[in-house]
Structure 1
């Protein structure tokens, strides 16, 4: 898995990018809910 930053905002430092996985490409920012054994 690799992560590539595509753009950065000069005022807020917000970023957009892409996460490359074996299963495909995920464009960020994205809401990615993650559950744990405690939830």
Structure 2
């Protein structure tokens, strides 16, 4: 039971980190591609 909970916790942690990284990368790409003046 405990191992299953730890496994689910690690999966959630990794999934959240991957989603946050993807969001940051997409925002950075969008900011770099978009014409921003000053």
TM-score (norm 1): 0.19
More strand by share: 1
Structure possessing the higher relative contact order (Cα contacts under 8 Å, 6 or more residues apart): 1
